[in-house]
Chain A
Amino acid sequence: MEYVIEMLGIRKEFGDFVANDNITLQLAKGEIHALLGENGAGKSTLMNVLFGLYQPEAGTIKVRGEEVKISDPNKANDLGIGMVHQHFMLVENFTVTENIILGSEPTKFGTINIKEAAKKVQKLSEQYGLNVDAYAKIEDISVGMQQRVEILKTLYRGADILIFDEPTASLTPQEISELIQIMKRLISEGKSIILITHKLKEIMDVSDRVTIIRKGQGIGTVTTAETSPDQLAEMMVGRQVVFKTTKTEAHPKEAILEVHQLNVKDNRGVDRVKDLNLTVRAGEIVGIAGIDGNGQSELIEAITGLRKATSGKITLKGQEITSLKPRKITESGVGHIPQDRHKHGLVLDFPIGHNIALQTYYQNPLSKGGIIDYKKIDKLAETIIEEYDVRTPSAHTPARALSGGNQQKAIIGREVNRDPDLLIAALPTRGLDVGAIEFIHRRLIEQRDKGKAVLLVSFELDEVMNVSDEIAVIHDGHIIDTVKPSETSEQQLGLLMAGHAVTKTANKVGGE
């Protein structure tokens, strides 16, 4: 096989931490090669080594058979390596063309020759079917188009080896299928692609071969056609993975949360939740399935009091809580695991103990007459740390120093400890490893079994399918259907999430 890239025995350390240890990856000409691993397995580190952002401590890199030292991104560019970053590297108030030419601007009498550059951009866009407006400002174009600008950036510099870093993370299903078409077109034009992902489905759909890494170690390379999702998952995690969470039948009782004809606007004044109705009863888990950006965040913010509803009614145990202050809502029995734990869930610079008191610090017994009793806070924290298996040196350790899984366990411990009647869990397992995911799923089911109401929001279909007792599919601010996991399929859910009301004949994903 003819290799365009060979990374042999790569080792990269950050202080005491070994991010990559003896990893080998070989990219054949004209293939789509997937790089698979869990979050934190070292995928991005490896690619940043290839792209010249990091220097490896050991190992060699060969490009088209010749050993090279890639000292910076410029060198990578010269070698024809381009990277499509997960978090787009685009200057928002620049135009598409300005972003693309940055760093290698064509000039005329010392000034930037923007016209010629735009012409070249337009031509490339047409050649690869990217459909990008060279003069549009980045802040005005869709996420999908921004990604295509990222691709153009590499093509403009003449890259023929493209690295895609988790390219589907923020795309809609339709944009994903478009991206797959684009990748295939790139291959047919003679490019080679490395695809970084942790989504097994994509790998099966699009890749030719897969290299798997786990905890910084290279596990091996397999041919996609000769493997199965189960085998890949086992290689990625290091043990057999139970995709199914075991749980008993739910016994829902009285309604706890009732949302009636709710309307909510986002910060820009756009309607995000539209006449939405939803009920969550005691003793059941309702999962909200949907693609990111269909009103989930605004719905939860409205329920928890973080955002005012423009109209409609929210009740908790029959009491109206619409647009009350967040603290009032918390006190009336709502627990909330926010979707972004670093931004909303924790004060990272506070000790983990302080974080556990984040909603109750002012209440008796933690506080009396405005004076805090930090001994009692520590005691409470130690109980929760023990009970929820939060791995931390002590309650005084800053939350920042804990791993994502342990941070999330602390948040869940804090919320559940307040014994809320309604527990809202927004993307509770995002970015966590498999062990932590299982732990969190068990805790959610445990709450249900105690007779609490649980509202789960997730972008991951298998999570919604496995954990929920009832699935409410959200699209464009509406709940367009409510289904039982046992009576539906992933395919059917996918259709609903894309906005297709289910008819018996609908069976094609992505078609309008």
Chain B
Amino acid sequence: MSNRLINILVPVISVILGLIVGAIVMLVSGFSPVDGYAALWNGIFGDSYNIGETIRTITPYVFSGLAVAFAFRTGMFNIGVEGQLIMGWLAAAYVGQAFELPTGIHAVVAILAAAVAGGLWAFIPGILKAKLQVHEVIVTIMMNYIALHTANAAISAISGGKEKTDKIHDSASLSSEWLASLTQFSRLHWGFVIAILAVIIMWFILEKTALGYELKSVGFNKNASEYAGMNVSRNIVLAMVISGMFAGVGGAMEALGTFGNMMKLNAATGIGFDGIAVALLGANQPFGVLLGAILFGALKNGGLNMPNAAGIPTEIVSIVIALIIFFVASGYLIRLFLERASKKKGVQKVKGDK
């Protein structure tokens, strides 16, 4: 069995295992897995409203997944997507309501502001890693909570003590009456187009540009890259900033598309952490991330239908997602199993040849 095939099979098998264990959890809790998964399916594809909402849910996952994957590909673990996304959300919501700009241009400016905010938030762990060799995992985790509290304080300040910011102007909105009318007035917005664009951008940077070559090289081996004349610190910071920009734009999707404002948050949104799952499932490849986001976004949105349609708490979906991460991360085991299985066949083949 080729390595490539195994690389594809590991996530597929993990998803199947995750769904099976999810079914067992439902059974043990006294629910019917068939009803449960039927409700999930209908929640995803049931009607055009559900489809619209599913696509809307997928959109920020694409960005958080790309952010994590981009950092992974360049040798870093960005657990701070959550915080970068919050800062992007805040920046977009603020630009959307505080300025008056022509339609379209306003949205672009707001998205750029979100990218800058996310990028800046990632710049801090980036520069600390590049200059002081501080490991980025802990710093980015801490930055998540700093973002959460800072954003809440900023919302208070911007709105004059209210719990949420004012609605953005229509000129900055990504919503579309046409898309809404197509999907029985779901909150579907143009963000999904931007998400697909972002997938292509990441692919282009990594696979086509000299910058991408450098970023990957530094990610794999800092010493050799330095010997080859690359500026290692600059590349580390840049990799982190680009990752943070993807996350920030993901936040803009919530500000300009789904909600049209930002509210105070009690806890992390979860989108950033789910991005780790998305990236892992997509093997850190841009198009893999898209597939991973589609799966997890669909599960999340479909899960919302489970309490009403089958009486099952929607958290079952998070349980399944967490299990999938366990299985993908423990891919060593699946890999070993697949290699053993294919080896037996392989040996027979060789003997047959002789």
Contact = CB atoms under 8 A, between A and B. Distances in A.
B339 to A, nearest CB: 10
A326 B229 contact: yes
Interface stretch (A49-57, A170-178, A366-374): A366-374
B184 interface: no
Interface string A328-368: 01110000101000011111111000100011011000010
Contacts of A329: 229
A348 B223 CA distance: 12
B226 A371 contact: no
Nearest to A361: B213
A372 B213 contact: yes
B227 A345 contact: yes
A326 B227 CA distance: 7
A345 B224 contact: yes
Interface string B189-216: 0000000000000000000111111101
A361 B218 CA distance: 14
A328 to B, nearest CB: 8
B159 interface: no
A306 interface: yes
B132 interface: no
Nearest to A414: B228
B337 interface: no
A322 interface: no
Q: Which of B210, B225, B227 has the most CB of A within 10 A?
A: B227
A344 B231 CA distance: 14
B181 interface: no
Contact of A370 (B210, B230, B231): B210
Given A370-B209, A371-B208, A371-B209, A347 B225 contact: yes
A77 interface: no
Contacts of A87: none
B207 to A, nearest CB: 8
Given A347-B217, A354-B213, A370-B209, A330 B229 contact: yes
A304 interface: yes
A357 to B, nearest CB: 8
A370 B216 CA distance: 15
B269 interface: no
Contact of B227 (A336, A349, A354, A370): A336
Contacts, number: 66
B213 A325 contact: no
A327 interface: yes
Interface residues of A, number: 27
Interface residues of B, number: 20
Contacts of A336: 227
A361 B224 CA distance: 14
Contact of B223 (A344, A349, A350): A344
A358 B209 CA distance: 14
B209 A372 contact: yes
A294 B208 CA distance: 44
A348 B208 contact: no
Nearest to B339: A15
B239 to A, nearest CB: 15
Contacts of B227: 304, 306, 326, 336, 338, 344-345
A358 B210 contact: no
A361 B210 contact: yes
A343 B224 contact: yes
A372 B220 contact: no
B150 interface: no
A358 B227 CA distance: 9
A267 to B, nearest CB: 12
B79 to A, nearest CB: 22
Given A327-B229, A370-B209, A371-B208, A358 B223 contact: no
B201 to A, nearest CB: 14
Contacts of B330: none
B210 A343 contact: no
Interface in B146-184: none
Contacts of A367: 210
Nearest to B204: A371
Task: Give the one of A306, A345, A347, A350 with max B CB within 10 A.
Answer: A347
Contact of A344 (B212, B216, B224): B224
Interface in B261-298: none
A88 to B, nearest CB: 22
Contact of B220 (A304, A338, A347): A347
A306 B220 contact: no
Contacts of A347: 217, 220-221, 224-225
Contacts of B213: 354, 361-362, 372
A347 B75 CA distance: 12
A376 B16 CA distance: 42
A358 B208 contact: no
A367 B211 CA distance: 11
Contacts of B214: 361-362
B349 to A, nearest CB: 14
Contacts of A348: 220-221
A349 B220 CA distance: 7
Interface-centre pick from B216, B220, B228 (highest chain A CB count, 10 A): B228
A354 B224 CA distance: 13
A33 to B, nearest CB: 39
Interface in B298-333: none
Nearest to A328: B229
23 contacts: A306-B226, A306-B227, A326-B226, A326-B227, A330-B228, A330-B229, A336-B227, A343-B223, A343-B224, A344-B224, A345-B224, A345-B227, A347-B221, A347-B224, A348-B220, A348-B221, A349-B220, A349-B221, A361-B210, A361-B214, A362-B213, A362-B214, A370-B210
Interface of B: 208-214, 216-217, 220-221, 223-231
What are the 5 closest A-B residue pairs judged by CB atoms, nearest first?
A: A327-B229, A358-B228, A326-B229, A347-B221, A344-B227
Interface of A: 304, 306, 325-327, 329-331, 336, 338, 343-350, 354, 358-359, 361-362, 367, 370-372
Given A325-B231, A343-B221, A371-B210, 18 more contacts: A326-B229, A330-B228, A331-B229, A343-B224, A344-B226, A344-B227, A345-B224, A347-B220, A348-B220, A350-B216, A354-B213, A358-B217, A358-B225, A362-B214, A370-B209, A370-B211, A372-B209, A372-B212
